[in-house]
Structure 1
């Protein structure tokens, strides 16, 4: 019989070599009682810890514009992020910053969560889909 917790530990040890920070943007502005002004809610770090980032390509096929629009195929780069099972839920539009990585070129890159995390009847780890957002410069 498969031991779910053993599989989870194996996945963390062998599939999650990097460290990330997941940030959730603040919601609507709130009232500052001292000034009476509306002020933005500060972003909140919802997860800091182990992760694994893996490239993934999506083939997208859509019908072009116009009455006789031809089908257009496009390859869109995306990423899959693996997180430990006990990581908090990551929401669409959260931002992921790569803090440490085996691949030096990954450090400082940011991604946006493009879909809710996957769920499973036999969960071992969390899978979240990302799209690359931008790359911050990192001092050497």
Structure 2
């Protein structure tokens, strides 16, 4: 039988080829000494290391039409895989893709939509994301 730590190492080695940066805004404003203006505080970087980013389609059913019929919508979502020793990621944290096997992912940012999943037998951390914006990559 495989040990939990062996499965974790396998997952990190084979499922987390990218580098991300997770940051958290404090919501506080600070005084800008040169202008005297209140500006948002710089975000706190809570994690900067390996991860795996995977697309996930989410189906949503709601009774949004005028005649009461159910409407089905498909939205793109993403799963972020992190090592077990990564700090807890909070809802509304921002994830920036710094390096990736898929060049088009570099520079994209995502918003964390829910607290990370937990398990009785944890081997990695799973965090759910939605795309926030896409920065153009310099050629």
TM-score, normalized by the shorter chain, greater than 0.5: yes
Residue 30 of structure 1 and its aligned partner are, at CA, apart by 5.5
Q: State the Cα RMSD in Å.
A: 2.1
Matches of residues 65-76 of structure 1 in structure 2 within 5 Å?
66=66, 68-76=67-75
How many residues in Structure 1 have an aligned counterpart in Structure 2?
138
Q: What is the aligned partner in structure 1 of residue 57 from structure 2?
A: 57
Alignment of 1:9-88 (within 5 A): 9-29=9-29, 40-64=40-64, 66=66, 68-88=67-87
Give the distance between the partners of 1:16 and 1:45, measured in 2 at CA: 19
SS of corresponding position for 1:79: strand
TM-score by length of 2: 0.90
Once the two structures are superposed, what CA deviation does each residue of 1:93-116 show, in whole Å capped at 9, x if it has no partner?
Answer: 101010000011111111100111
Q: Aligned residue for 1:93?
A: 92
Counterpart of 1:122 in structure 2 is 121
Unpaired runs of at least 5, structure 1 = none
Please give the secondary structure, in 2, of the residue aligned with 1:10: helix
Q: Secondary structure at the match of 1:8?
A: helix
Distance in 2 (CA, whole Å) between partners of 1:43 and 1:131 is 19
In the alignment, is the contact (CA less than 8 A) between 2:28 and 2:41 conserved in 1?
A: yes
Distance in 2 of aligned mates of 1:52 and 1:37: 39
Name the TM-score, length of structure 1 as normaliser.
0.89
Aligned pair in 2 of structure 1 residues 38, 134: CA closer, same or farther (>3 Å)? closer
> Cα distance, 1:70 vs. partner?
1.2
